[in-house]
Structure 1
């Protein structure tokens, strides 16, 4: 199998001062990419900030002969993101890869969660994915090339106690991906999501030392490299952790036609509930929202035929 290389490519990795982002950035640089190390340098809850972490990763890359620059912009700030994009273009003249990895936590049970807790988490995870991608989008369209990765979570896909804000943001980036995979297709812009299980400062204190050792962040990165390579898939959710990988999908049952007009009652739906929820008749994953409608109308058409 040929080596995956990124010679001549320019990559931006947000939240790359440590953890997963640092591992992604280092591996891209080792494989020939020029890398922008973006990191606000704040604490886990999003407060504070300095450029020391980003600059340290730049030095690591330069030590093995790679090229990198540091950027301390907040991914939730329009002016900061513009500066990051402008600095990248001024330095290297193109943007081929963008990995939206920056994140914070404000974990609380829902009754104790404040408006600030959800606003800040949505700002960093969802707005902080949208703004860099949006700022790079037309550049990638003009190049007819782009590779994008958003970072989702099992909390967004499946739920987790005390993380309603985080889960909302993390499923939000999947929704954005599902549309951008369609809009980017004609310009060879591909977008995927990674769902990592890794030992980072965001998981410190909630896992045993043995588990943390098995969940090194660098064990996620090989999967991410495959999401940004030239022949990458698009619209995929790749789960990754401890050296194991799987694909997550949103699927739908075939469902059932219940009726219309006077025949369509709550009781009629209840009578068909087992057929509606029959997972033995699950449909293939839909590629676009229109296929969801087609599935529903197929049940209506089948009923009309008798």
Structure 2
């Protein structure tokens, strides 16, 4: 790309990404801390990728998702997944009208913009598959009719890492459909103090203003596609993914007994998209290796299948991603 074209692109990015800071500030008025989670949710939103959140209860996951939805002026639905939930409860169903003798369609809560699928692993495989198929195909079939979902359609699912009794863990092939998996952590001491001061009240919480629109988000997705990414950065993305499949070829032979399966091709696609969105959040017109490294853990960790030996040695997939990042040469 010529300097002239890059300068034009930088001006365009500066203009199109101006709403990002307003969005972060507005969410920060309600949500204390959790900057990492908020940025990753925005990356999923801007890169058109769904996000899996894992964390103990009480870490403001629902509050953050609802606040994000309000701040961009979109419809929001929270669905509590339970063992007795049926696919029809999610997608909708056909209702028979005795007077007319015809069926009508009653659409389910999936027909919205932002969905919080709370404790997705508490529902059986049929319900999980119904949601994940909608995520992949961006459409829902009820009876013989197929309905497209909105262009702005984002699924944010949560898992509780503590209570595993009575849950139905997501199969690896289904987890792979999430662009990012975020480990939500506890707040710091100062953040905890601020949370207590804000929330230990009986009056209503702060309202959220819509500081961005769905149209701006969709326009930003178009702009992100135009960000400049050098061939060496593209090759770096591919090398990170290949190192998870064939560690020995990248001087990581000690990882071979610990890895059952490496990352799928979706990993390289999503690494590229997420790195672009990460650069966009920083108002840059080009992608750097640091953008890739910043999102690599969230894109790759849930796509690695570790062996029983790794579990016995208490080595997590996140540890393996860290070792790959520290060993693969950075351009």
- Fold match, TM over 0.5? no
Which protein, 1 or 2, shows the higher relative CO under an 8 Å CA cutoff with sep ≥ 6? 2
Give the structure-1-normalised TM-score.
0.33
